[in-house]
Homo-oligomer: A and B are copies of this chain.
Amino acid sequence: MATVRLLPDAELSPEAAEVFGEIRALRGTDYVNNFWRAMAHDPKGIRALWDRLKVVMAPGALDPLTKEMVYVAVSTANGCEYCIHSHTAAARGKGMTPAQHAELLAVIGMAMQTNGLVQGLGVEVDSVFRA
């Protein structure tokens, strides 16, 4: 019960159906998750997002697992429950071990803590940190 109805396959626009086909092909599964069924109301938006997401999350200077963990980190700081669950699952699918998950969470917690301390202290950036 999102703010829009989740579209079943039978109601997809041709553009959204095409993106769904690419998602299924890339992931090797028929399952398409709720986010895309909500995004499907915007044919141009879903295409633009999917095209960019594929590029950004592909192997590059950073490996896909590292990218998923960074995704989880941002989603956690923003409190996006859906994103935390979907990208934690994606990270597991890309090989994240329980030990790596525990360390990821420990770093997130530590960063949250020092973010709070630094902001509360109002510390100004050391000039040595400037690029």
Which A residues are closer than 8 A to B by beta carbons? 1-6, 31, 33-35, 38-39, 41-42, 44-45, 48-49, 52-53, 55-57, 60-62, 66-67, 69-89, 97-126, 128-131
The complex is assembled from copies of this chain, and their number is 6
Tell me the smallest distance from the CB of A16 to a CB of chain B, in Å. 12
> Are B105's CB and A121's CB within 8 A?
yes
> Are B74's CB and A116's CB within 8 A?
yes
Pick the contact of A126: B34, B66, B118, B131 (CB < 8 A): B34
Chain B neighbourhood of A53, CB < 8 A: 110, 114
User: Cα distance A36–B4 when bound, in Å?
Assistant: 24
Chain B neighbourhood of A41, CB < 8 A: 98, 101-102
